[in-house]
Amino acid sequence: MKTLLLLIAAATLFSGQAQAQQLREMFSKTNPSVVVIRTVERRVTPQAQGLMSLPGLGSGVVISTDGKILTAAHVVQAADQVAVEFVDGKKERAHVVASYPRADVAIVQLDFPSPGLVPAKLGDSDAVQVGDDVFVIGAPYGLSHSLTVGHVSGKHLSQESIAGVSKVEVFQTDAAINQGNSGGPMFNMAGEVIGIVSQILTTSGGFQGVGFAVTSNVARKLLLNKKSFWTGIDGYLLTNELARIFNVPQSAGLLVMRAAENSPASDLRLIAGTIPTNIGGAELVVGGDIILEVAGIQIVEDWKTLDEMQTALGNLQTGEKFTLKVLRAGMVVELSAYVRAKQ
């Protein structure tokens, strides 16, 4: 019996050492693909009683040798400036080229990609099962290239489709995720990206064992397999009572809370909100334009119209004109701009 117990203990120890060795090897292999994303964004702060340029922090992963980086939409959606920091400390300027805020995924493009970029491989997230071992690399609280380990705790499907993707899936994980991890990659034990870190559920502000990552297949379908578009708008869909409160002359409108500099939103000269407020539990920045129509498509209460607009904008050619109708100071105003060269 003693011999059997010793053999079991030895086998357990050997298995643990083998797993640790595999994790060390996978971290060494994948870490060069992981980046820290630093942003600057104008935000309204009650303390300053106006707009302030504030720094932002997130993570991302290189997915191509020409400098494309996958991250979370909420990290970069309304950013005025984007910089990417590599494992060796080198920083490069970048810009957003595609984003799906509803799915919280985006692509950032390096302005001047350096030779020798190490892209990570996108895995097949459909093959992932609950209980699989995973690891996350990111910059929690600015501690760049930090490793956390855990499991896939659950797989959850959205109730509605996004841009024709009927099964928008997210992974739940117990791998520690905190502020700064957003946009970072979740890897399987083969070193493949199977998810992009999105958010946590917390009552304390820190990680409490429940984090979520948008699956790699969702990111691939929305950003790589079809044409996408970045608006530079951080908006809020006004429907029902909120639409009535804001005197929206139709069933719904998109409140422009923030608009990034040097973006299609700035080309259109959209006016962003200036007054932070809470209405019915919704944290809003009011006083800006309310979008009523994009490229001839009227906004209604159904989220599908926003997907239709995103698709319509993505299909526009460089130099092609597009128009918006907005509610501004009680009047309906038409705005127009031309599609920038796509990079």
**What residues act catalytically?**
74, 104, 182
Written as six digits, the tokens of 25 are: 């090897």
Alpha-carbon gap, residue 209 to 254, rounded angstroms:
34
Written as six digits, the tokens of 263 are: 């973006």
Amino acid occupying residue 151: H
Alpha-carbon gap, residue 152 to 125, rounded angstroms:
11
Q: What is the DSSP string of 6-48?
A: HHHHHHHHHHHHHHHHHHHHHHHHHGGGEEEEEEEEEEEETTT
**Helix or strand run (H / E) with residue 111:** none
Written as six digits, the tokens of 70 are: 């996958």
Alpha-carbon gap, residue 174 to 179, rounded angstroms:
15
Residue 306: Cβ within 10 Å count = 23
Alpha-carbon gap, residue 318 to 340, rounded angstroms:
6
Residues 100, 225: contact at Cβ < 8 Å? no
Dihedral sign of CA atoms 98, 104, 105, 107 in order: positive
Written as six digits, the tokens of 264 are: 């299609």
Amino acid occupying residue 232: G
Task: Tell me the residue length of the chain.
Answer: 343
Written as six digits, the tokens of 69 are: 């980086």
Residue 270 phi, psi dihedral angles, 5° rounding? -65, 145
Amino acid occupying residue 303: W
